[in-house]
Structure formats: structure tokens, C-alpha cells
Homo-oligomer: A and B are copies of this chain.
């Protein structure tokens, strides 16, 4: 199976569990139910759950065990997109080429949709906790990555530097490691925790660097990308005075640093036994992505 076929087979599993989740959802009032499903159903790469399945397969974890963790991570990621797109934050009217949640349902309902997805992710994780101690640890790890010492700290720092315009490398690293890497570390380490912590340090480092690479390519695409591929506004970071790797290092240096990050990810992978082929190609995929 080539890379794209394998990606699609993981993606297919993710779409099935997202679809089944949406079908089961039966909230009142209707606008709440619809707003919870809307952004989830916009699709996208489903990068984080796909990554979790791939790491799980490398470690020999039964992928069935990962299903609810993958879903919870996708819900948390989706809540963060909805809140990030709000006028008070990134003020982005488009997401995956469609109007953002607040453009469709209004700001108040978008705030509640984000809150609802975050809460529902924990409803899924708390159910997993009944399966044993390693499931509780895995859930805690996701919670830490999403929380006030993780993604939320990164979003807060992102705002702070956007306002202060006091750019420096240390601050950029803090933002990228928390805002982006933490929720990419989570899908890398959950499969490890479920099999007794196998390759935990390697997978954590892999997730951190892959997250940095992901954010560098995001910053590059904000300058060079195309709206019809990316599905979100181009040049927004620049217009908003956002603190990005491109405005710290310049575009060419960013590309060089992205290459180095990709190499670092591959080097870390070398230290893990098993069929690493898909994950190696996934690193290239992130480096070369145009969406």
C-alpha cells in the first residue's frame, strides 16, 4: 500500500467514527446539535487522529483501542478552531473553504459549540477511564496537552505577542511548542501509554518536532498558499501583525529550518523499531503540504 492509500485508510476510520458520533448526537435545541456537527463535518486532513493510528500501528497497538482517543482529540482540535476563528481572536471568516462557525450560527452559538465539543471530548475520555489505569493516564495526557500548561497557554502567548509586537526566538518557541506541538504530541504518546510507555521519550520528541514543522509550514503557507487549497484566508497573519516564524526568520530561512525539523523527525524515528515507512513519509507530507 502506498502512502496515500494508507493515509486514506486511516482517514476512512476517522471519518467513520466522526460520522457515527455525529449520527448519535441528539442535543436540543436543534441549533446546538447542528453547530456541534458543522465544523466537525467540514473534514480536513484529520492529521492528529491519522497520526495516532499510524503510531499505534508502529507499536502494535490494537487500533480499536485508539478509536475513542482519536475522536476526543479531533473534538478538542475542532473546539480550538471554532474559538480561534471568533472575531475576538483570529477573526477568520473561513475554515476549510466554508464559512466559520460564528458566520453560520452567530458568535454566541459558536462559543457554546466550542464549549460543547470540549466538554464532550471529556465525556468520551471519562468513559474510557473505566477500562483501566493506562486509559486514565492516556486521558490525563490529552487533557494536559490541551490545557493551561499546553495548547491554551500557547494561544494566550500568541495573543500577547500579537499585541506587544516584541518578537524573539524564545517567545516563538513557547508559542509553537504549546499552541501547535502539544496537540500533536498527544496522539504520539497515547499509543505508547497504552502499551506500557514503549518509546515514550522518542515519541514525545517526535511529536514536538513534528508539531514545530507543522507550524513552520503553516506560517509558510500563510504567505505562499492558495485559498482554494488551504480553505482559509491567506496573508492574514501578516495583516494581523501575528508573530510567526516567517516574520522572525524570513521566508527562505523558514524553509531551511523546516527542512532541518523534518530531518530531526526522521532521525528520531530511526531510534524506533518496526515499520516506520508510513511515519517517515508523513514527515515529508507535512514538509511538502500545500493545504
Cβ–Cβ < 8 Å partners of A107 in chain B: 88
A115/B112 in contact, CB under 8 A: no
Comparing A8-16, A42-50, A59-67, A124-132, the segment that makes contact with chain B is A124-132
C-alpha spacing A89/B114, complex, angstroms:
14
Closest to A25 in B: B148
**Quick one: which of B25, B28, B88, B111 contacts A174, CB cutoff 8 A?**
B28
A126/B125 in contact, CB under 8 A: yes
B118/A159 in contact, CB under 8 A: no
B152/A32 in contact, CB under 8 A: yes
Task: Mark contacts of A132-157 with chain B using CB atoms, 8 A cut-off: 1 yes-contact digit, 0 otherwise.
Answer: 01001001100110111100110111
Tell me the A21-67 residues at the B interface (CB within 8 Å): 25, 27-29, 31-32, 36
C-alpha spacing A269/B156, complex, angstroms:
46
B120/A148 in contact, CB under 8 A: yes
Is A108 at the interface (CB under 8 A from chain B)?
yes
**Quick one: which of B118, B123, B147, B159 contacts A109, CB cutoff 8 A?**
B159
A83/B109 in contact, CB under 8 A: no
B129/A143 in contact, CB under 8 A: no
B115/A152 in contact, CB under 8 A: yes
A140/B116 in contact, CB under 8 A: no
Q: A88-B107, A89-B111, A114-B115 are in contact. Are A153 and B123 (CB under 8 A)?
A: no
Is A160 at the interface (CB under 8 A from chain B)?
yes
A29/B157 in contact, CB under 8 A: yes
**Quick one: which of B111, B127, B160 contacts A111, CB cutoff 8 A?**
B111
Cβ–Cβ < 8 Å partners of A36 in chain B: 148
Is A250 at the interface (CB under 8 A from chain B)?
no
Is A119 at the interface (CB under 8 A from chain B)?
yes
Q: What's the nearest-Cβ distance from chain B to residue A48, in Å?
A: 17
Q: What's the nearest-Cβ distance from chain B to residue A110, in Å?
A: 8
Cβ–Cβ < 8 Å partners of A122 in chain B: 122, 125, 143
Q: A126-B125, A148-B32 are in contact. Are A115 and B118 (CB under 8 A)?
A: yes
Closest to A118 in B: B118
**Quick one: which of B108, B126, B140, B153 contacts A159, CB cutoff 8 A?**
B108
**Quick one: which of B83, B147, B153 contacts A29, CB cutoff 8 A?**
B153
- Give the interface of A toward B (CB within 8 A): 25, 27-29, 31-32, 36, 79, 83, 86, 88-89, 106-109, 111-112, 114-116, 118-120, 122-123, 125-127, 129-130, 133, 136, 139-140, 143-144, 146-149, 152-153, 155-157, 159-160, 174
